[in-house]
Amino acid sequence: MSGSILAARDPAALQRPRMLLRRGRLHRSDLAWSIAFVVPYAALVTAFLVYPIGYALWMGSDPALYAQLLSDPRYVRVAVNSVLMVGLAVTVQMSLALLLSGFFARPRRWIKALLLVYVLPWTLPAVPAYLSFHWMFVAYPQGLLDNLLTTLLGLEPVHWFRNGWTALACDTVASVWKWMPLWTLIFLGGRMAIPRDLYDAARVDGASPYRCFVHITLPLLASLYIVSALISTIWTFGDYAPVLFVSGGAPAFRSDVIATLGFHYALDFADPPLGVAAALSVLPLLVPVVLVLVRRLDAMDLQL
């Protein structure tokens, strides 16, 4: 129960439903009930998911839209930004989360208390949290960060949002700040599920903590780590909030990402099909990731 999700395959648990499936046949009245129970979900999916997806494909079906996208210098810059931000944010937060989960796994009371503080960013709603970041960076020269830089380190205050790259870095930092605690919790759950005797046996054999990490923790967490990294990749691609609220795309769309550019096209330039096309242009990148992920998730026996 206390371990979060865990990549332990329990063959008995996996096989049981299938065996029963073969054994019991549904009565006709039961079949009606079982269909009736899925109808709400099927209706929901049809009306609010399949239809919008179909509509999106139809809106973005004109090849001219993509030519228009590629000829827009804003789009090219934004695509580069997206890839950079996703790559950086995912790499940094995943590797730090993996290491920090080892720190939080130590059985000390003050470390448990620290964990309670550490997860705070993840529980905060996105808009308030990112607005706070916005103010910290934007209020030249009186933002909290600039004040810290000048009073503590004697540095010059920085115009964070005057340059697209520093603005994008600010967005990335905010995104990592918000989501790293979640992944730390997940890896912590994964570590807790590793049997202690493995480490005890390794220690008896004289293994150093480093070798324990490389030869026990890493192989056993690999599957969980890959799934988490893939999920994080997809969600960071779709996450508009850090960019929309921290830098707002300043200066002049230079720090925007695909997830926000679509809305600028649709709302500010009143061209919804172009906005949809911008979102769809990520599909060649995302679909393979989604397929790999679904296969892996399906094979994993995730547990509460």
Partner 1 sequence: MSAVTAEGRATLRRRHHRLRRNLREAAAIGLALVLVVWTLAPIYNMVFVALESHGDVFTSSIWPARPSLKSFWVVMSEGYWYLQYFWHQFGNSIYIGAATTFLTLLIGSLASFSIGRMRLKNGWIVSNAALMTYVIPASFLAIPFYSIMIKYGLANNLWSVIFAEVTFATPYAIFIFQQYAVSIPIELDEAARIDGASPLQIYFRIYLPLMAPALVAVGTYALLLAWNEYLYQFMLLSSVRSMTVPVALAQFLNSDEAPWNYMMATAILYAIPPVAIYYAFRGRMTAGLTMGGVKG
CB of 162 vs partner 1, minimal distance in Å: 18
- By beta-carbon proximity to partner 1, the closer residue of 168 and 227 is 227
The nearest distance, CB 264 to partner 1, in angstroms, is: 11
Which residue in 220, 243, 285 sits closest to 137, CA to CA?
243
Residues 6-65 that bind partner 1 (CB under 8 A): 13, 16-17, 20-21, 24, 26, 30-31, 33-35, 37-38, 40-42, 44-45, 47-49, 51-53, 55-56, 59
Residues binding partner 1: what is the number (CB under 8 A)? 105
Sole binder of partner 1 in the list 72, 199, 240, 285 (CB under 8 A): 240
Q: Residue 3: which residues within 8 A CB-CB, separation 6 or more?
A: 189, 190, 192, 193, 303
> Hey, how many other C-beta atoms are within 10 angstroms of the C-beta on 81?
26
Compute the C-alpha angle 253/259/261, nearest 5°.
30
Give the one residue of 64, 109, 123, 156 binding partner 1; rule: CB under 8 A: 123
Using CB under 8 A, which of the segments 71-79, 141-149, 199-207, 211-219 binds partner 1?
A: 141-149
Quick one: which segment of 1-9, 74-82, 193-201, 210-218 binds partner 1 (CB under 8 A)? 1-9
Residue type, 73: P
Binders of partner 1 among 148-207, rule CB under 8 A?
148, 150-151, 174, 177, 179, 181-182, 185-186, 189
Phi, psi (degrees; rounded to nearest 5) at 11: -55, -40
Answer for which of 72, 102, 118, 212 binds partner 1 (CB under 8 A) is: 118
* DSSP H or E run through 75: helix 73-104
Select from 74-82, 159-167, 214-222, 227-235 the region that touches partner 1 (CB under 8 A).
Answer: 227-235
Tell me if 279 contacts partner 1 by CB under 8 A.
Answer: yes
Angle, CA of 273, 279 and 280, to the nearest 5° = 85
Alpha-helix residue ranges (DSSP H) falling in 139-243: 144-153, 164-192, 196-204, 209-212, 218-238, 241-242
**Which residue in the block uniquely carries the two structure tokens 């979102």?**
279
84 vs 124, beta carbon nearer partner 1: 124
Interface pick for partner 1 out of 11, 73, 109, 116 (rule CB under 8 A)? 116
Give the list of residues 6+ apart from residue 119 with CB closer than 8 angstroms, or none.
181, 182, 184, 185
Q: Which of 74, 77, 135, 285 binds partner 1 (CB under 8 A)?
A: 135
Contacts of 124 (CB under 8 A, 6+ apart): 178
| Per-residue x/- track, 76-115, partner 1 (CB under 8 A) | ------------------------x--x--x---xx--x-
